[in-house]
Chain A
Amino acid sequence: MSRVVITGYGINSSFGFGADSLQKGLEQNRSGICRVDELLKCNGLQSKIAACAGEYNINVIPRLHRRSMGRVAHLGALAALEAVEHCGATPAMITGPRAGCIMSSTMGSASELYGTFDTIFTEKNMSSVSGMQFFKCASHTVAMNVAQMLGIRGSVLSPSAACASSMQAIGLGFQLIRGGILDMAFCGGAEEVNSMVVGSFESIFAAAPPSRNDDPETASRPFDARRDGLVCGEGAGVIVLESLDSALARNASILGEVVGYNTSASGSHISQSDSSAIRDCINAALHDAGISPREIDYVSAHATGTVQGDASEAEALRQVFGGRVPVSSLKGGLGHTMGASGAIELAACLMMMRDGVIYPTRNLEQPAEDCSGLNHIRQQTLAEINCFIKNCFAFGGINAVLVCRRFNA
Chain B
Amino acid sequence: MTDSDIRSKIKEVFVKNFELDENIIQDDKLLFDDLGLDSLDIVDLIVGLQRVFKIDLRKYSEIKSIRTFGDVCNVMNKIIKEQPDEMNKIIDGHK
Contact = CB atoms under 8 A, between A and B. Distances in A.
Interface stretch (A123-131, A198-206, A335-343): A123-131
Nearest to B20: A63
Contacts of B56: 125, 127
Contact of B47 (A63, A67, A130): A130
Interface stretch (B22-30, B36-44, B68-76, B82-90): B36-44
B50 interface: yes
A132 interface: yes
Contact of B44 (A64, A125, A131): A131
B31 to A, nearest CB: 14
- Determine the interface band of chain A, counting residues with CB < 8 A from chain B: 10 to 19
Interface string A261-283: 00000000000000000000000
Contact of A128 (B18, B38, B40, B51): B51
A127 B58 contact: yes
Contact of B40 (A127, A129, A132): A132
A179 B41 CA distance: 40
B11 to A, nearest CB: 17
A390 to B, nearest CB: 38
- Determine the interface band of chain B, counting residues with CB < 8 A from chain A: 10 to 19
Interface in B1-49: 18-19, 36, 38, 40-41, 43-44, 47
Given A63-B18, A63-B19, A132-B44, A127 B38 contact: no
Interface string A128-140: 1111100000000
Nearest to B39: A131
Contacts, number: 26
B74 to A, nearest CB: 22
Nearest to B56: A127
B39 to A, nearest CB: 9
Nearest to A63: B19
Interface in A64-100: 64, 67-68
Interface of B: 18-19, 36, 38, 40-41, 43-44, 47, 50-51, 56, 58
B48 to A, nearest CB: 8
B19 A128 contact: no
Interface string A101-141: 00000000000000000000000010111111000000000
26 contacts: A63-B18, A63-B19, A64-B36, A64-B38, A67-B40, A67-B41, A67-B44, A68-B40, A125-B56, A127-B47, A127-B50, A127-B56, A127-B58, A128-B47, A128-B50, A128-B51, A129-B47, A130-B43, A130-B44, A130-B47, A131-B40, A131-B43, A131-B44, A131-B47, A132-B40, A132-B44
Contacts of A67: 40-41, 44
Contacts of A127: 47, 50, 56, 58
What are the nearest 9 A-B pairs in CB distance?
A: A131-B43, A130-B44, A130-B47, A63-B19, A131-B40, A131-B44, A127-B58, A127-B56, A128-B47
Nearest to A125: B56
Contacts of A132: 40, 44
A64 B17 CA distance: 11
Contacts of B41: 67
Given A127-B58, A132-B44, 20 more contacts: A63-B18, A63-B19, A64-B36, A64-B38, A67-B40, A67-B41, A67-B44, A68-B40, A125-B56, A127-B50, A127-B56, A129-B47, A130-B43, A130-B44, A130-B47, A131-B40, A131-B43, A131-B44, A131-B47, A132-B40
